[in-house]
Amino acid sequence: MRVAVVGATGLVGTTMIKSLEERNFPISTFYPVASSRSVGKEVTFKGKVYKIIGMQEAVDLRPDIAIFSAGGSVSLEWAPKFAAVGTTVIDNSSAWRMDPSKRLVVPEINAHVLTPEDKIIANPNCSTIQMVVALNPLHKKYGIKRVVVSTYQSVTGTGKKAVDQMMNEREGKEGEMAYPYPIDQNVLPHIDVFLDNGYTKEEMKMVLETKKIMEDDNIKVTATAVRIPVMGGHSESVNVEFEKDFDLNEVRQLLAESPGVVVLDDPSQNLYPMPLIHAHHKDDVFVGRLRRDETQANTLNMWIVSDNLRKGAATNAIQIAEYLVAHNLIEATVEV
């Protein structure tokens, strides 16, 4: 495969490159792509140095796959141009997620919807991905009625500028601000822009994307998305009401047997998922603190943690590409 990574210099882009290496994705030619200000800079892939190229040059090279992590406006402008020359685009921005003509995919759940005609495929929001990976096997068994989720999201979800802000604050340095307030030793109940209904765009992404990925508009979701001063992954407190009653041991077994899920749930040994200890640099979704909600029937409390740059972004996109290749939904260009 001839593969382009668009946004190759960003936090997600660099993680994509690393993940492509680690997963040994079948690449014959690699194209790192970024904005004009980064053209000519160098990145390393599998021990070889590559110069970053611009968007139009990348389109002209007609890669088989272009994995985007360059922001919504860039995706809206350039993804159709790549698709027009036959490239399959896997886009990590929010640009195409709720477009009814585009697939929104978490491979463990709904890769079956993909076809060779899908030339722009949307990668879901990081918080949504980790939540639905854990919820899907339980939904199949018990039927989800309602989800109440509060997130505890890493500064890496905002990007390098936010990481720099936090580190500058820790060191007592002045610097650019990614957030309207200090983030170190603080908590911001504010991710993305506020909407007319009082929710943020991040919160509504979780509401709408969950329904689309799980192919069930009847699932009710309400979310509060919160930024905290950590790196390594996002954490979520999730309260799930089911149609049917459940057995906790069966819940643990269902989760443990589900692809991409690791159960860490032994309070007697202080075993529960944490971003720094368990999720950082990993591709799995970690689940623990499993317990009944004693105030309401058929309701489960759970704690879900995952590396937002990996499964929440880069790895999920690459898993989509792996599925396309494995199921012959994309053909490699024969180079002469």
Q: How far is CA 302 from the centre of its chain?
A: 19
Backbone angles phi, psi at 314, to 5 degrees: -60, -50
Backbone angles phi, psi at 88, to 5 degrees: -90, 120
Q: 97 is written with which tokens?
A: 């997620």
Q: Are 288 and 271 in contact (CB under 8 A)?
A: yes
Q: 172 is written with which tokens?
A: 């007592």
Q: Are 262 and 287 in contact (CB under 8 A)?
A: yes
Backbone angles phi, psi at 29, to 5 degrees: -135, 135
Backbone angles phi, psi at 86, to 5 degrees: 100, 0
What is the residue whose two structure tokens read 């689309």? 212
Backbone angles phi, psi at 69, to 5 degrees: -150, 70
Report the distance separating Cα 94 and Cα 222, nearest Å.
19
Query: DSSP state, 228?
Result: -
Report the distance separating Cα 92 and Cα 329, nearest Å.
20
> Which amino acids are annotated catalytic?
126, 234
Q: What angle do CA 109, 113, 117 make, to 5 degrees?
A: 145
